[in-house]
Amino acid sequence: MEHFDLRNQNVVFGMNDVSKINLLFAISFLLDRDICKNGFREPDYFNNEIDREIRITLGVDLSDRLKNENSQHIIAKVGGARSSNELET
């Protein structure tokens, strides 16, 4: 399991075949309904091992929600996806 702390602007670089495109695809999978609705295909699995679980989690820090318009916009878009106990994330 990998953890990436991404900010407003990021640069992804590395040698060939180190999964730069996979990282971008995972982010797209979470944020693009057209990609997500199709689910995973066999080639999306490492060595085509379709019995292995693919888990992608996206966390967004909204602790600046009272001052930042971008955070307020995100909150407005996700609607009831969070409970009032989870206002910070």
| Domain limits for position 38 | 1-58
pLDDT greater than 80 at residue 8:
no
What is the reported pLDDT for 52? Answer: 85
Total domain count, the chain: 2
> Is residue 46 located within the same domain as residue 76?
no
> Is residue 77 located within the same domain as residue 34?
no
What is the reported pLDDT for 79? Answer: 62
5: its two tokens: 């702390």
68: its two tokens: 């930042």
Tens-place pLDDT, residues 11-69: 888 888 877 888 888 888 888 888 888 888 888 888 888 888 888 777 777 888 888 88
The residue among 60, 57, 55, 54 whose CA lies nearest residue 78 is: 60
> Is residue 72 located within the same domain as residue 37?
no
- A 10 A CB-CB count for 70 gives 11
Q: Following CA atoms 35, 25, 41, 56 in sequence, which dihedral angle do they give, to the nearest 10 degrees?
A: -90
Q: What is the pTM of this model?
A: 0.55
